[in-house]
Homo-oligomer: A and B are copies of this chain.
């Protein structure tokens, strides 16, 4: 979406014209109608028609700008709110309006230093190498490894799966012959007491991503750690490693991702009876441009490798079509089906769930308008 923005003509600060400085208002309003259907193991079927948002791209409203400081240096800011435009909602709850991104940057030939709330390094592979960009019913199931829906009780919620507050990050400059990369650290901000036997590190995140994009190829590897539970009695860390790639053959573009999300328990998890559980995910996908349209398809799987029980697993097949009315406006339709096994309980929609879902099917029909 970064190119589909409206730049506002900006007058100079203090009366001095500066063509390099600008403030941009940008956004996406994506709305549609969806149908979800879940089928439980026993046979009960639940369904819902809904007027939904963000079926193709995440709805958002943002303000961003850059200032040329001379000597190759630039300062910039980025404030971006999620929109729940089916109800008029904005932001992520409470006062967290700019929940998608809220950063200030200083960049130059050395790269970019960025401070604030931002995407985590590890999430980029999940979304960049998914033909459905982790939006709508087509979203890959790999991300489910970060929540309890795959394996039920025993997993802690990971609030930094996609983004983290209180980050300082460094990004490589753009002129490295296709190599790109970033490293980020999020402060836990908890109080340390001298002489204390325990100090919480909850919400600390550290991660990095390194990739290479040149011609048809884009490939990247990422690793991140976050402390999701940190009490004197128990510490749980979520360690995410993933590798993604895409290759554009012209007629079709191929996508793939491998992901391992490890839950480290100290002491051992009482649910799983072990100090570590791996959740492995994989995706293959393809997109094919046809005139003003784009066909999208993906197959993704996720499996929790539990020692003391059957391994919960799920797979998903998604198929979609996007018809571009312009660069900013598109119509889209997506259908996806999830199959759960051995206790996995993933649904195409968080708004619709049964106590034990065997299959979940979803349809999105919508319009995406960017500005």
Q: Footprint of B on A, CB under 8 Å?
A: 3-11, 13-14, 21-23, 25, 27, 29-33, 44-51, 61, 63, 65, 67, 69-70, 73, 75-77, 79, 81, 83-104, 106, 115-117, 165-168, 186-187, 189-195, 325-329, 351-352, 366-367, 369, 371
Contacts and interface: CB of A to CB of B under 8 A. Distances in A.
Given A85-B102, A90-B98, 13 more contacts: A4-B14, A8-B8, A8-B11, A8-B23, A31-B116, A69-B325, A75-B326, A75-B329, A76-B369, A81-B97, A86-B166, A88-B99, A189-B351
B98 A88 contact: yes
Contacts of A103: 29, 31, 85
A356 to B, nearest CB: 14
A180 to B, nearest CB: 22
A327 B14 contact: yes
Contact of A8 (B9, B76, B97, B193): B9
A3 B14 contact: yes
A194 B44 contact: yes
A193 B45 contact: yes
30 contacts: A3-B14, A5-B13, A6-B23, A6-B65, A25-B63, A29-B102, A30-B104, A31-B116, A33-B168, A44-B193, A45-B194, A46-B191, A47-B192, A48-B192, A49-B187, A50-B187, A51-B168, A67-B369, A69-B329, A75-B367, A79-B85, A85-B98, A85-B104, A88-B96, A89-B97, A90-B91, A90-B97, A115-B366, A189-B351, A191-B352
